[in-house]
Structure 1
Amino acid sequence: MPSFTANTKDMQFVLHDLLKISEQDIPGFSELDRDFTGAVLEEAGKISNEVLAPLNVVGDTEGCVLENGVVRTPTGFKEAFDQMREGGWTALDASEEFGGQSMPYVMHTAVNEPFVSANMAFNMYQGLTHGAYSAILEHGSGEQKKTYLPKLASCEWTGTMNLTEPHCGTDLGLMRTKAVPQDDGSFQVSGQKIFISAGEHDMSDNIIHLVLAKIPGGPDGIKGVSLFIVPKFLVNDDGSVGARNGVSCGKIEEKMGIHGNSTCVMNYDEATGYLIGEEHKGMRAMFVMMNEARLGVGLQGYAAAEAAYQNAVIYANDRLQGRAVTGTENPEGPADPLIVHPDIRRNLMEQKSFIEGARAFTYWGANLIDRAHRMRDADADGLISLLTPIIKGFQTDKGFEYATAAQQVYGGHGYIEEWGMSQFARDARIAMIYEGANGVQALDLVGRKLAQDGGKHVMAFFEMVKTFIKENKGNEALKADFLDPLKAASKDLQSAAMYFMQNGMTNPNNALAGSYDFMTMFGHVCIGLMWAKMGKASLEALEGGASDTEFYKTKLATGRFYMARQLPATTMHLARIETGADTVMALDAASF
């Protein structure tokens, strides 16, 4: 059975050496000193290692079962969910007004990382609830907040998001679910939604579905979509659970992975629903959930890879195969361990350098969300809006790639279920698809986010990179290994953006055909920026007499690898972008 141990040491490095969270001017951050965050992360790691990780294989093998309209979750899930709830883990960053602890979002993000690594399918139940909480907090009425938020914060009730229908996924303007107004101000919601994660289960007293639907007579397309609260059980005036609503689970999807999460077909048969926000403005409210979910899914990408990587390292050290080409390293044994071989080292270094860079990138993104929300900082809000499709798209692509790379270290054993490595790859695969498939993330980045606010935010990013390089150009220990590669990659990214500006107007396909390459380039540059900053932080720690010199030396070696072996991929992606759309669009549809 695979093992997992939360990497709290590196998490602490990112929070304090890199982001220096306790020194920031964001309200609530001054309380986040090393001792406090260390205690929180150690406890989160403990429940991840001891409770959630052992249930990962259980969830994968047992899956969820639909019985008489009720979904039974895998053995041990309900007890673990109770333990998470009782420990207050589901309400970490929820408002104290609604029973939460009001911690910054960056702490919610850090704590959820080991939960995802340990058991991605399990963590989705509370993750979706967190998104529903946020949407109602932002757009719900005072009465709706009072009714639903305390129960969602505690996960006594859980939440879902209902977008996709059998005939429409990304193009939500095609949806058919309708919401008919009633005399009492409620709506009758009818239709079918598919791929609804945690749509039905046995771990909470009620499930609060957030459902996109169209009010008859509204505008066509996406402009006519509204958002509704549709509870599984109606809520009485005193807040207690009442009669069953007209919502039911029609089936559980048979999936490639995340078997421990109930992915449901949900049927709404004149179910009572309550409008959130304004009529025909549902996407505005739903995107509160979607944007939060996309950062969370980006986290899932590297968190799944982290768990796979840890096991690959153990196997590479234990498995004896062949001899090192430079001479025997295990003379007492029949062969040397796999880890002596350069290609195994390459594989593991690619995994390690991506995971640690992605962790920094994700925490930085969460930090920007805190700055945007807690300080009403429009620049931070614009920057995280730009970076969100990159965090989601790039990191889930690479997360799946490196989960399978970890599987590869095992050779044939990696393909055998007994070793558990295939689950990491199967679970990671969904992250490239849900909350907006990665091709859509790339289109959003190039088609919308680059030009947002007149291109202000992408220019601010380029200036951020330029300023960091300029401020540290005298640091010889940083220049060749970190600053020069970052400068070259940033120039590639700027050249790609310029190509879109010069060629995208005359032929939009020139921009869209290169959008995926651009998203990937941007991801590399973001992680390159993180590594340059982590390199600086590590050098400063060593110069300051840090006691754990091996940790910081390892951090520098890992960063040098990324800058030398991973970051130059931007040159290839630029070359592909500059070929334009002609080769991409050359064939007629019938020729494929």
Structure 2
Amino acid sequence: MTEFDPPLQDMRFTLDAIAGVDRLFKLPIYRDISQDLTNSILEEAGRLARDVMAPANRPGDRQGARLLDGEVSTPEGYCKAYQSYVEGNWNSLPFDPDYGGQGLPWVLAVAIQELFSSANMSLGLCPLLTQSAIELIQAHGSESQKHAFLPPLIAGHWTGTMTMTEPQAGSDVGAIRTRAVRDENSYRLFGQKIFISYGDHDLAENILHMVLARTDDAPTGSKGLSLFIVPKWLPREDGTLGEKNDVRCTSLEHKLGIHGSPTCAMAYGDRDGAVAYLVGEENRGMEYMFTMMNSARLGIGAQGVGVAERAYQQARRFAFERVQGKRVGDQGDGAPVAIIHHPDVRRMLMTMKATTEAARALVYYTATAIDLSRNLPDRTAREDSRINTLDLLTPVAKAWASDAACRVTSLGIQVHGGMGYIEETGAAQHFRDARITPIYEGTNGIQAFDLIRRKIMRHQGRPAWAFLHKVRETTKVMDKERGEDLNVIRRSLEEACEAFEQATDWLVDTWNERPLEAAAGATPYLNLLGTLAGGWLLAEGARKSAAISARNDAEDSENSYYFSKLRTARFFADNILPASEAYAAAAIRGSAAITDIPEDFFC
């Protein structure tokens, strides 16, 4: 496996020119933050990712997490890397200074999640979940819970988990059976959970489980779930750790990928019951858990970008080193050339590059909406940013970026040819690691249904129309700009906008009368929106790159970079964005072939 080179130039460009973080610097809460500061933070994070986290990635895949005598150990190098992460205060970046946070923008924290996922996806998953748990407690915990739990979580001394899944209750959380019994000032939990990432480990001194459970008198289904904080070690009033709670890891899952991340089966209440602290009110647990889930979903999108970037870097390097075959058009005894000269290899590499950069732009643009929706001075503007950008694009960022990661890492294997299928090169690890991202934090089919039901049709289609308006504003501006590449990009965007408009018209007209038919088209509709969003954001980057190059005020290396941004957007417009029309057709016409087939057809 090749070394990891943090893509800092593209990250900075995406933050500045596409996500528009300069808008944040104008807000009072971020008045002390500058572009120079964010660049310095990215550089330091890049060093940690490259020099400390990345070297533990390959050994961690081979060794995996281990369970011995009831104790879980992470692979060699993980504890040292995590300690460096804690000592650098990286976990605290976006959180409230009153509890030990640094109060920096969330979009910067998401960009750093990408870096750490690129370097070591298995290890980067642990702080990603911890930050999501912090969000949950910050939003819904009591004052005493915030003061007791937030400082050690924000510092990284404690970690957090999302604890929902049970053997009989995967995506159907309403089938959860874990019981919560009232016990004076707390509760006692009894039940089994599975697929709990970092449910137990040796990285931190304590673990807080965010557990969905059901009180004895609760209603059936998801409306009867409550949310509890269950510590591994019970904290005393002075904050020190006391006795071990009635919680244990019973086994570790043997997974396709992310071997270094311990995925645990957990038992709560083998003896007297696990001491648990209710968050908020009973029977509102699923509502609270969505805060953690939405934070994690955007983090999974960043994971997808990270692992895609790592696969692209390795495939690109291999393509320059691997010599095989003559250049197309060479006559006679032409010498063999590196495979980078072969057209289909170049096509694959450009697909990897363009897809990864589009996914990065989508994730950063969505993350910027977190900061705007919380901190814009005008309430209407905050609501617009939340409903029409953050809520709309979060399921798209999670699903489209994670699906993109699977495509990109698969192409990475293909570029390597037969060597890609051999574990020795490490190319296969990226694909194996990426394959979980479309599954956890809600499968991508769930993301698609959430998109059309909660994010679009709850508002009678308005968020989709608002998004389409933004894209068309860009095409109007581009109509006045010169350059063949920009003209081609604009025309492709206009065609994709037409496809999205048709699909959205159909969705709005169909949803109330034929919801099953609309749901059958949800995934192609999400893919349509993700593809359009990726093409639009790359187009914005291409416009700004062309303007900078035209001013001739950049160094040669920078001009080369800006030219690459223009050509990458052109490639996306020519080779990927045209799929928008196919996605629209599948969303509109494809449902009958899904809903009209009887179940025995599959027998």
Question: What band does the TM-score fall into relative to the shorter chain?
Answer: over 0.9
Structure 2 vs 1, CA of residues 235 and 546 (structure 1 numbering), >3 Å: closer, same or farther? same
Structure 2, gaps ≥5 residues long: none
Cα distance in 2 between the residues matched to 1:371 and 1:329:
62
Amino acid at match of 1:336: V
Matching of residue 475 in structure 1 with residue 478 in structure 2: no
CA contact (8 A) 1:21 1:32 kept: no
Cα deviations by residue, 1:420-441 (Å, 9 ceiling, x for unpaired):
0110000000001000001111
The CA deviation at 1:398 is: 1.3
Instruction: Indicate the SS of the match to 2:595.
Output: coil
Amino acid at match of 1:558: T
What is the match of residue 163 of structure 1? 164
Instruction: Indicate the SS of the match to 1:434.
Output: coil
Cα distance in 1 between the residues matched to 2:450 and 2:333:
52
Amino acid at match of 1:37: T
What is the match of residue 400 of structure 1? 406
CA contact (8 A) 1:23 1:29 kept: no
What is the match of residue 81 of structure 2? 80
1:325-340 correspondence to structure 2 within 5 Å: 325-327=328-330, 334-340=335-341
Cα deviations by residue, 1:71-130 (Å, 9 ceiling, x for unpaired):
011011111111110011111112211112111101101112111001000011111111
The CA deviation at 1:330 is: 12
Cα distance in 2 between the residues matched to 1:484 and 1:292:
35
Structure 1, gaps ≥5 residues long: none
Structure 2 vs 1, CA of residues 28 and 473 (structure 1 numbering), >3 Å: closer, same or farther? farther
Amino acid at match of 2:499: D
What is the match of residue 378 of structure 1? 383
CA contact (8 A) 2:457 2:508 kept: no
The CA deviation at 1:17 is: 2.5
What is the match of residue 531 of structure 2? 524
Normalised to the residue count of structure 1, the TM-score between the two structures is 0.97
What is the match of residue 440 of structure 1? 446
1:41-80 correspondence to structure 2 within 5 Å: 41-80=42-81
What is the match of residue 271 of structure 1? 274
What is the match of residue 117 of structure 1? 118
Select 1:491's aligned residue among 492, 498, 507: 498
Cα distance in 2 between the residues matched to 1:329 and 1:92:
61
Select 2:521's aligned residue among 490, 514, 524: 514
Cα distance in 2 between the residues matched to 1:576 and 1:14:
31
Instruction: Indicate the SS of the match to 1:325.
Output: coil
Cα deviations by residue, 1:136-170 (Å, 9 ceiling, x for unpaired):
01111111011011100111111101011110111
Select 2:312's aligned residue among 291, 304, 309: 309
- Please say which of residues 454-463 and 189-198 is displaced more in the overlay: 454-463
Structure 2 vs 1, CA of residues 28 and 320 (structure 1 numbering), >3 Å: closer, same or farther? farther
1:53-452 correspondence to structure 2 within 5 Å: 53-183=54-184, 185-269=185-269, 270-327=273-330, 334-375=335-376, 377-382=382-387, 383-452=389-458
Cα distance in 2 between the residues matched to 1:443 and 1:75:
40
CA contact (8 A) 2:496 2:578 kept: yes
What is the match of residue 583 of structure 1? 593
Cα distance in 2 between the residues matched to 1:538 and 1:142:
48
Aligned residues with identical type, % of pairs: 39
The CA deviation at 1:407 is: 0.9
The CA deviation at 1:328 is: 7.9
CA contact (8 A) 1:6 1:49 kept: yes
What is the match of residue 13 of structure 1? 13
The CA deviation at 1:70 is: 1.1
Select 1:563's aligned residue among 561, 564, 573: 573
Cα distance in 1 between the residues matched to 2:514 and 2:7:
47
Instruction: Indicate the SS of the match to 1:410.
Output: helix
Q: CA RMSD in A?
A: 1.6
Cα distance in 2 between the residues matched to 1:504 and 1:23:
36
1:33-48 correspondence to structure 2 within 5 Å: 33-48=34-49
CA contact (8 A) 2:356 2:404 kept: no
Amino acid at match of 1:106: V
CA contact (8 A) 1:492 1:570 kept: yes
Cα distance in 1 between the residues matched to 2:332 and 2:309:
28
Amino acid at match of 2:562: Y
Structure 2 vs 1, CA of residues 29 and 363 (structure 1 numbering), >3 Å: closer, same or farther? farther
What is the match of residue 546 of structure 1? 554
Amino acid at match of 1:569: A
Instruction: Indicate the SS of the match to 1:379.
Output: helix
* Matched positions, count: 589
Cα distance in 1 between the residues matched to 2:177 and 2:251:
20
- Please say which of residues 580-589 and 218-227 is displaced more in the overlay: 580-589
Cα distance in 2 between the residues matched to 1:224 and 1:19:
40
CA contact (8 A) 2:141 2:279 kept: yes
Normalised to the residue count of structure 2, the TM-score between the two structures is 0.95
CA contact (8 A) 2:95 2:104 kept: yes
Cα distance in 2 between the residues matched to 1:303 and 1:79:
21
CA contact (8 A) 2:137 2:145 kept: yes
